Amino acid sequence: MQDSAVALAKKLQSKEVSAKEVVQDLLPRLEKTNEEINAYVTLLPDEALKQAEEIDGKRARGEALGPWAGLPIGVKDLLCTEGVKTTCSSKMLENFVPPYDATVVRKIKDAGFIIMGKTNMDEFAMGSSSENSAFFTTKNPADHTRVPGGSSAGAAAASAAGIPVLNLGSDTGGSIRQPAAFCGCVGLKPTYGRVSRYGLIAFASSLDQIGPFAQTVEDCAMLMNVISGHDPMDGTSLSHPVPDYLKGLEGDLKGLKIGIPKEYFIEGLNAEVRGEVEKGIQTLESIGCETVEVSLPHTDYGIAVYYFVCTAEASSNLARYDGVVYGHRHMDATDIVDMAAKTRAEGFGDEVKRRIMLGTYVLSSGFYDAYYLKAQRVRRLIKQDFDQAFQKVDLIVTPTTPTTAFKFGDKTDDPLSMYLADVFTNSVNLAGIGGISIPCGNDSQGLPVGLQLIGPALGEEKLLKAAHHFQMAHGG
């Protein structure tokens, strides 16, 4: 493990290193590793060096700089970056250059973070392996024959490989936590509304949330301090005050009650993953947590409900890609309907088309009540399961994924088996609450296992504190 971002920031603040030295040290490593794992769609080496020089100039002149100025970061390629291509790893947006920054991008820029590039993902964030990227797949740094997870594939792989350790991703049904587990880094999906989604290219708006990747929980807490908070540009962002998540890590976990949901420790769970997570639970107990069994009785419906809700919202959100305003346009059409049809046929990949069709179907009159409306009702029951559990416990612990990273091609012929990769993560999005994946040992092939902690709405402080103390005690 290399320097954490918080440790590197101290060296920058004390002028032990300059921002330019940090970037010059990182760039050759980043470029070499990126050739092996393909984490980035766009690299910004010249811009990064220029930004580093500006920060060093400000520091030399004694101008005010935030504590994190000069830290390198990667940004998932669905967060709009002014003047820099934002592709969503789709042919539809292959040449799209946004005229504005997403709020999170603006915030990290204002805090002096240096953006190293835009990371690869499954097209429009739909997928669990990077195999749905229209451009290329990203390799798992732990084993290049295996997927890094998805959809924030490049972000997780970059964090795990340290190119750089900090990354921003998004999570609609597991896209931060599942790849973090597969690659062996930390990934937090905050409570819905904690982080502004303005400038995030929408997949499923009632589920999407932006969050941090890092090698340490402490770095995630630091990045949460920077990106959280109300934004008038996002009507769903919450106005609750943002606590100091870094400070919140202090203290101990004595008396913290952690629920173990019996529905998550089931037959489909790989025995080695189960074994590692059980050791993780023992670690939690050894540092003062009390564990009790809880029940989340509607867990079984999570996948079905998720795929009704997310496809319905995706079919509506992606209607805007018709060749008129954004992105790709078929140039040889007979009329506007023909243009929209051909543009969409060419611009979208198979999985995106599958979801648009499924979503259009579940919303169509005649089927709406049976599918979409019913799914929303069951979604409420899933949320109530968590509400009831959190009356008894502070946090919930589960495996992040049922297996470790699978091989490329293993699930591409069977969309349903791909969907099951998120069976332990998507209920958290349906309930609008927060979850974090932390490294928790390896299987016998050396592949990382992730432990997931789930917290109540706006429980990030508790979640990060428990995850931090777990990581310190368990290692990895």
Residues forming contacts to ligand GLN in the complex (CB under 6 A) are: 125-128, 151, 171-175, 203, 310, 422
What is the sign of the dihedral through the CA atoms of 395, 401, 404 and 405? negative
Active-site annotation holder among 90, 151, 196, 237: 151
Please identify, using beta-carbon distances, which residue of 232 and 409 lies nearer to ligand GLN.
409
Question: How many Å apart are CA 289 and CA 268, to the nearest integer?
Answer: 27
Q: Give least dist CB 386 to ligand GLN, A.
A: 18
Q: What is the arrangement of strands in the sheet containing 186-189, beginning at the earlier edge strand? A: 40-43, 114-119, 72-76, 167-171, 209-214, 186-189, 434-442, 448-455, 395-399, 257-261, 290-294
What is the sign of the dihedral through the CA atoms of 142, 147, 150 and 155? positive
Active-site residue 205, yes or no? Answer: no
What are the φ/ψ torsions at residue 310 (nearest 5 degrees)?
Answer: -70, -35
Report yes or no: 52 and 23 within 8 Å, Cβ to Cβ.
yes
DSSP string spanning 179-233?
HHHHHT-EEEEPPTTSB--TTBPPS-TTT-EEEEEESSHHHHHHHHHHHBS--TT
Please identify, using beta-carbon distances, which residue of 225 and 401 lies nearer to ligand GLN.
401
Q: Give least dist CB 176 to ligand GLN, A.
A: 7
- Which two three-digit tokens encode residue 388? 């009831």
Nearest of 108, 182, 238, 233 to residue 403 by alpha carbon: 182
Please identify, using beta-carbon distances, which residue of 343 and 429 lies nearer to ligand GLN.
429
What are the φ/ψ torsions at residue 177 (nearest 5 degrees)?
Answer: -70, -40
Question: How many Å apart are CA 242 and CA 226, to the nearest integer?
Answer: 10
Instruction: Report CA 320 to chain centroid distance, whole Å.
Output: 24
Active-site annotation holder among 20, 76, 118, 411: 76
Active-site residue 175, yes or no? Answer: yes
Active-site residue 151, yes or no? Answer: yes
Report yes or no: 456 and 433 within 8 Å, Cβ to Cβ.
yes
Nearest of 165, 167, 171 to residue 194 by alpha carbon: 171
Question: How many Å apart are CA 391 and CA 262, to the nearest integer?
Answer: 17
The SS3 assignment for 471 reads helix
Q: What is the DSSP letter of 370?
A: I
Active-site annotation holder among 4, 89, 175, 228: 175
Question: How many Å apart are CA 205 and CA 290, to the nearest integer?
Answer: 36
Any idea which residue has 């609609």 for tokens? 172
Task: List CB contacts of 250: < 8 A, sequence separation 6 or more.
Answer: 465
User: Which residue has the closest beta carbon to ligand GLN?
Assistant: 175
| Residues noted as catalytic | 76, 151, 175
